[in-house]
Amino acid sequence: MLAFKLIFCFLFSWSISMAQNNVPKNTSNDSLNAFYKNFYQIKFNTLLRKEASVSNFISIETQGIKIFSSLKNKKSNKYEFFMAWNELKTYQNKNYLKNYFQKYIKQEKEEDSLFVNFSTNIQKNDKKQPIDFKSLLDIIKNPNTKPLLDYRIAIDPGHVSADTTTARIEGRIVEIRLPNPANNGLDSIKTEIMESSMAWATAKVMKDSLEKLGAKVLLTREGIRYVAGENRTYLEIYEEYKNERKRQKKPFLSRKKYFYDVFLRQDLEKRANIINDFNPDITIIIHFNVEANNLGWKKTVKNNFALALVGGAFTASSLNSPKARFQLFRLLISDEIENSILLSQKVLAAHETILKVPTLPIKHTQKPLEKTWLYTGTQGVYARNLFLTKEVFGVLCYGESLLQDNEKEILMLNKKDFLVDGVLVSSRTKTVANAYLKGIFEYLKIY
């Protein structure tokens, strides 16, 4: 069964890469429509449908694609949207798609800024002379050319906490007591590794390097201590909320409940809006992982790997609004997922060569994660229906660079030997940044 799945994924990956350049020519409309139906049905089944009930909201037919608001409406053929196959190229046009999105979700009263142009045709530099990676690093130090001049790159440093209080609220701090290597293990040290700080430091190094190469770069968080789109910390935002509730003589939520019930959704929406308004060619979303089977992170593990996520793997419960269903339609008919898989593949390959972190094997032990993702057919790259992988337009790589609880990584990450934005973090983040940079360069074919 595993062998069959692997063969199927390989054949699907090959068909995805070839399909748009091998659409049947000089054939009847019936043959062309049958080709489209078969191709998009395979893509839907493989990358977009996490559970069978997702099919209640869509029908891929010989005539085109129908979107339904419920199974009841599907049974009675009361579709809320229909695209005929002869309209496919029109809907794949980024400007048309943007305008249609805005009209389609009007009933939800969403802001137009959520729906900006997305760019999937980013292979603009194919004719440029190759530059090797070492030369690019030299250019960053002493720039004499701008190979990324035409590119817009968005970087989202994951999470929000640069202080231990917020990190504990968010559940994004690795605190493990270890034997002290500086004293032959005769005493112990306590680790204090905050994912948010490492992600921001990585993003800042990338931004500085990319800008020296000519790219226009956006960070969703302006400072290592700040939340997305604001020059404030989470604790400052919470205190403002609490004081206002006190002034109104109304009850208020605890720090943790406010974080998860109110703030987190707002923060993710803000990140997506900021990125989409920027209209990037590619988006890098930076995260660091932990071993899925190491509950509570009370001990270190020998395992270490990198993986990447792209859009897809919808569940029925995630399709309860017209906007969500249209995001499903967008990811189905565009080549965003395919290009995101390619970018992610390049990033993971660079993690192996630069960071010396292996890509998650096809046969792995991370079974808890399989509940939410789908294998794309490219090793280490999985489709997952996260807020940003669904809401961010265009090509993206949602990277998980290493395991923070790995027995070797944790010692490197606990060394606070790199000052960024007034906060000491591990210099390991610079190496992570270089791995992302190499992946980006490979994808854009500039060396």
Q: What is the pLDDT of residue 13?
A: 43
The length of the chain, given as a count of residues: 447
Pairing of strands 216-219, 193-194: unpaired
Residue 398 backbone phi and psi in degrees, to 5: -95, 95
Region 360-387: mean pLDDT is 92
pLDDT at 116: 27
Write the pLDDT tens digit of every residue in 391-434: 999 999 999 999 999 999 999 999 999 998 888 889 999 999 99
Rounded CA separation 44/404 (Å): 34
Helix (H) or strand (E) holding 395: strand 395-403
What is the pLDDT at residue 9? 43
Q: Which two tokens stand for residue 346?
A: 């390049």
Domain boundaries, the chain: 133-444
DSSP string for residues in 352-380? IIII--PBPPSS-S-GGGGGTEEE-SSTT
> What is d(CA 24, CA 38) in angstroms, rounded to the nearest whole number?
13
Classify residue 18 by burial, with Cβ atoms within 10 Å: 0-12, 13-18, 19+: exposed
Whole-angstrom Cα distance, residue 311 to residue 321?
17
Report how far residue 419's alpha carbon sits from residue 176's, in angstroms, rounded to the nearest whole number.
Answer: 23
Average pLDDT over residues 196-214: 94
**Taking the alpha carbons of 431, 373, 83, 100 in that order, is the dihedral positive or negative?**
negative
pLDDT at 67: 94
Kindly indicate the confidence band of residue 436, based on its pLDDT and cuts at 50, 70 and 90. very high
Closest by Cα among 411, 6, 419, 38 to 224:
419
**pLDDT value, residue 117:** 29
What does the DSSP 8-state code read for residue 314?
A: B
Q: Are 71 and 56 in contact (CB under 8 A)?
A: yes
Strand partners, 216: 152
Give the pTM. Answer: 0.86
Pairing of strands 152-157, 216-219: parallel
State mean pLDDT over 67-83: 94
Identity at 36, one-letter amino acid code: Y
Q: Taking the chain, what is the end-to-end CA distance rounded to the nearest angstrom?
A: 40
Mean pLDDT value across the chain: 84
SS3 state at 407: coil
Span 249-277, average pLDDT? 95
Q: How far is residue 219's CA from residue 253's CA, in Å, rounded to a whole number?
A: 30
A 10 A CB-CB count for 163 gives: 18
What would the mean pLDDT of 298-314 be, rounded to a whole number? 95
Whether 312 and 252 have beta carbons less than 8 Å apart is answered as: no
Q: What is the pLDDT of residue 258?
A: 96
Which CATH superfamily includes the segment(s) 133-444?
A: Zn-dependent exopeptidases (3.40.630.40)
